[in-house]
Each structure stands twice: as structure tokens, then as C-alpha cells.
Amino acid sequence: MSDYKMLINGQMVAGATATPVLNPATEDAIADCPRASKAQLDQAVAAASAAFPAWSKTSIDERRKVLVAIADVIQANVTELARLLTQEQGKPLQDATGEVFGASAFFRYFASLDLPAKVVTNDATGRIEVRRKPLGVVGCIVPWNFPVMLMAFKVPAALLAGNTVVVKPAPTTPLSSLRLAELIKDLAPPGVINIITDANDLGGAMTAHPDIRKISFTGSTETGKKVMASAADALKRISLELGGNDALIVLDDVDPKETAPKVFGAAMQNAGQVCIAAKRIYVHESIYDAMCDEFATLADNWVVGDGLEQGTQMGPLQNKAQFEKVMGFLDSAKKDGKVIAGGGRKGDKGYFIQPTVVRDIAEGSQLVDEEQFGPVMPVIKYSDPADAVRRANASIYGLGGSIWAKDSDRAWDLAENMESGSVWVNKHADLRPDLPFGGAKFSGIGSELGEEGLKEFTQVQVLNMAR
Ligand code: NAD
């Protein structure tokens, strides 16, 4: 059992209590994790508040240097961090390595941005500038599916803009964040970065905290609604990156053999626990049987196992609650459609679920209408592409979506009618640090990444002078 500590005011500190973190592949404890008390949350916020005046006055070049230093440290420790991430999250080591590398790239990307004042007028009559000021203390709340990468959506942008942060990872995947905290603790002045871990009990206190000026939240839509309500009292700024139920539409001109593996990968990555996983697969009737057969063959041959084992393509579900939720979806899917691959738990230890393909299923089924967040893909038949887009849009969610076709111009024309924050053609879930990422409808408010994402960590100030 190793000991992990939290980062508060530049110091590694023990939690008020400690509870184990489980490896979802074995259900064995990996380590004890500190759990902060409300008083420790207050200490972290106080440290961030105290550090804010000086940090916000540093030059953007100084802040860039800190981001690059953090990127370097992440990259130098990729092997250790990726292994820890696989152990606590479950994903294959190769994917964990990609996630950690991605996080360092995101820090580096934000270090390349600028927040210049826009000079609107500067003449004999006066001077007018539009500036971007930092907000103050930002609370960053992160879920368990991409703990390292999603932290890197928020922290570098918040810091570059001149804010200080209190970060809270999800209670079931805190260790990679805490190890990272230890590695970077001396790279920024004390109090600029604070990382605390909870027992799923401090999110509400963070969102209601009077001294946190913005909450950058990634998680479920249900929790996002609570964040919004709780932030109202202090009129906090919020960014909400929430759930999704991405539709992926396959047109009639694709080659099933060539397209099916790509679609399958978009649904099964991270065991389906991706906000922008393909969660509803619409396939044209003329190729429906062929595509379903390909999906079933892929599922039967997909290598499911401990992420630390070489060759594993898919790990377990991250936690018991999610495992049970997806098993519930499977029960209902068996009634509403025809399971042609998988369909149950794999083994009797660890939260493994077989990659599952369900055909002859349609809207009205839980598996189609709700976010499964697991390795269970519904394949839905359609005959008219415009109707498929209408059906794809008939969802409360609007995070991502994609259209697949040999004739990519035809797909492009349909794509603009999708009601989602990102729409891809002949690919899915292509995230880049320089592109804003955010959801329509119940999938969120605001965006992260790109210049737009950076601006969300700022307040506009107009300086307007007469001469
Ligand atoms: P969750 O909402 O249960 O938890 C997310 C975080 O919120 C955790 O750190 C949790 O401790 C914290 N939290 C819990 N109660 C809170 C409260 N009352 N106030 C504030 N914070 C609170 O989500 P999850 O189950 O960890 O993550 C899965 C969900 O996240 C899925 O719906 C997925 O689609 C979504 N997600 C969205 C994006 C995106 O960018 N849109 C990315 C990844 C995941």
C-alpha cells in the first residue's frame, strides 16, 4: 500500500480520512487515498485565493513557462503515470499512455496561446481596449473516464489566463492526479495549483463556495444540473461538459468491411466510457445485415482483459456502480432487440462486460434513448438519410455525431443538420486542443479547448478613455 497525499498551498498533506482505491480489473485495493474534509477544501480555496493577486499579475510569458515545465514533467513520467492510470481506471496501457501524452500536449498547446488586449480606438479622441482578465479561483471538477486528460482540458487554460485552481478528481480515479500533484508541486508558486480528493462529498461544497469564482465541470448531466443550481447563489461562472448520446450514421455507399472496424472502435474505445463514444449506430437498410455481421465478428474477437496485459483491447468498466448500470441496460436491450455478440459479464472477477452488439432495436428502448456509457452498441436500421438525421436529433443530448459515406460531400451536407457541438465526417471523436469542444442541449454549457475555451476562464474588461 503506497501513500498518496493532496496538494494544498504547495505542500503534500494527508487527508482527514483515507479509503482504498480499487483496481477495476481485479477488485483489489491499489492504495489508500486521502479524502479531504470540508475544512481542507476551505484551506485549498484560501490558498488559491491568497495566491491569486500575485499570480494574476505575472506576465503571460512567466505563466507559459510554468505550463511548459508541467508538460515536460508529465512527459518525463509518462510510463509511471500511465501504469497508475491503467491500474485505477482500467483502460489498456497503450490507451493510458496516449492519454498521459495527450495531457502534456494540451499543457503545451495552451502555452502557445495569447490573450492580447484588443485596441479598438487609439487616436486624438481617446483610447479604447478590450481586455481579458482572470476570474480568480477556479474549481475544476473531473470525472473518472479520462482523469488525466480532462484535468488538462481545464488547468492549463485556467492558469494561462491568470487564475489559480482547486482541482478535484473523481473519487474512484484520484491516484494519477495525486501523483501528478507531487511531481509538479514546485513548478508553480504555492497555492496556484491545489489538488484535493474527496469521497464524492465535496463537489457540492465546491460549487457553492463563495470564494470560488468559476466552476469548470465535466461529468454527468444529472450532476451538471446540480452544479448549475448550486452556482447560482454566488453567480459563479460555469462551464459544463456533460453527457452525450452520439449518433453515428452510416450511409449506403460504404464498404462494410472497411467501415465496420472504425465504427466499432468509436463505440468501444475506453469500454464505451467516452462522452463522445458512438452510442447509437444508424445503418442504412441496404447494408444493415452486412454491417451487423461485421460488428458481431469484431466483438467476438475483441481482446478483453486487464489493461496491464499486452494485447488487451478493452479493459473493465471503471467502477461497480457503472458496471451495474450497464448490466441493467443489457437486460432491457435483450427484451428490445436481438443480441448478436456478447451480452453479459466476462469472468467473475473485475468489472468486465463483453463487447456487445444489439440489432433490430429502435428508439423507445433504454439502450437507444439513454447514455449507456459502456461497451454495448445498438445498431438501428433506417431507410432515408434525412430521416436518420431527424431521429439522431430527437435526443436531449447534443455532444457529438458523425456521418460516414464514400461520397463525403453528401455526408458533409447532411452533417450540418446534426444538432451537436461537434460533427465529424468519416471519423468520430477527433478531439484536438486547438478546436473548441462543447455540447449542445443537455450536453453542456460553454466549451473547452481552443481559443474559445481559454476565453471562458476570463472576464471581459473594456478600458475606455477620452483624451
Ligand atoms: P459524475 O457527474 O458522477 O461525477 C463527475 C464529478 O463530479 C466527480 O468528480 C464527482 O465527485 C463530482 N460530483 C459529484 N457530485 C457532485 C455535486 N453535487 N456537485 C459537484 N460535483 C459533484 O460523472 P461521472 O459518472 O464521473 O462521469 C461520467 C459522465 O461524464 C458521463 O455522463 C459522461 O458522458 C460525462 N463526460 C462528459 C464529458 C464532456 O466533455 N462532455 C467528458 C467526459 C465525461
Q: What residue's CA is closest to ligand 1, atom 40?
A: 241
Taking only the tens place, the pLDDT of each residue in 341-370 is 999 999 999 999 999 999 999 999 999 999
**219 CB near ligand 1 (under 6 Å):** yes
List 33, 140, 275, 292, catalytic entry:
275
152 closest CA partner among 118, 198, 184: 184
Helix axes 93-111, 147-160, angle to 10 degrees: 10
Residue given cell 490507451 in the structure block: 95
**244 CB near ligand 1 (under 6 Å):** yes
- Decide if 160 contacts 60 (C-beta within 8 A): yes
Q: What separation in Å is there between the alpha carbon of 25 and the centre of ligand 1?
A: 21
Spatial separation of the C-alpha atoms in residues 418 and 386, rounded to whole Å = 10
**243 CB near ligand 1 (under 6 Å):** yes
Taking only the tens place, the pLDDT of each residue in 147-186 is 999 999 999 999 999 999 999 999 999 999 999 999 999 9
Q: What residue's CA is closest to ligand 1, atom 23?
A: 219
Indicate the residue type of 389.
V
By most ligand atoms within 8 Å of CB, the mutation choice from 91, 220, 432 for ligand 1 is 220
Residue 3's pLDDT band (cuts 50, 70, 90): confident
Active site annotation includes 275: yes
**DSSP β-bridge partners for residue 449:** none
Q: Which residues contact 168 (CB under 8 A, 6 or more apart)?
A: 139, 140, 141, 142, 195, 196, 197, 198, 202, 203, 206
Provide the percentage of residues in the chain whose pLDDT is more than 70.
100
Looking at residues 246-266, what average pLDDT do you find? 98
Strands (E), 213-343: 214-218, 237-241, 246-250, 278-284, 338-341
445 closest CA partner among 432, 456, 433, 430: 456
Q: What separation in Å is there between the alpha carbon of 243 and the centre of ligand 1?
A: 8
- Decide if 227 contacts 217 (C-beta within 8 A): yes
Taking only the tens place, the pLDDT of each residue in 179-190 is 999 999 999 999
341 closest CA partner among 358, 323, 353: 358
**DSSP β-bridge partners for residue 401:** 247, 423
Q: Which atom of ligand 1 is nearest to the CA of 170?
A: 9
Spatial separation of the C-alpha atoms in residues 107 and 78, rounded to whole Å = 14
List 33, 99, 140, 241, catalytic entry:
241
176 closest CA partner among 148, 198, 200: 148
Q: Buried b / exposed e across 448-467, counting CB within 10 Å, b at 16+?
A: bbbeebbbbbbeeeeeeeee
Spatial separation of the C-alpha atoms in residues 197 and 182, rounded to whole Å = 13
Q: What separation in Å is there between the alpha carbon of 465 and the centre of ligand 1?
A: 45
Spatial separation of the C-alpha atoms in residues 109 and 207, rounded to whole Å = 28
Given a cut of 80, whether residue 300 has pLDDT beyond it is yes
Q: What separation in Å is there between the alpha carbon of 141 and the centre of ligand 1?
A: 8
Q: Which atom of ligand 1 is nearest to the CA of 223?
A: 2
Q: What separation in Å is there between the alpha carbon of 272 and the centre of ligand 1?
A: 15
- Decide if 271 contacts 314 (C-beta within 8 A): yes
Q: Which atom of ligand 1 is nearest to the CA of 198?
A: 11
Residue 314 is given by DSSP the state: B
Q: Which atom of ligand 1 is nearest to the CA of 219?
A: 30
Taking only the tens place, the pLDDT of each residue in 52-98 is 999 999 999 999 999 999 999 999 999 999 999 999 999 999 999 99
Compute the mean pLDDT over every residue in the chain, rounded to the nearest whole number: 98
CA angle 432, 436, 437 (to 5 degrees): 80
Given a cut of 60, whether residue 116 has pLDDT beyond it is yes
Given a cut of 60, whether residue 2 has pLDDT beyond it is no
Residue 1's pLDDT band (cuts 50, 70, 90): very low
For 399, other C-beta atoms within 10 Å of its C-beta total: 29
Q: What separation in Å is there between the alpha carbon of 59 and the centre of ligand 1?
A: 33
Whole-prediction pTM value? 0.97
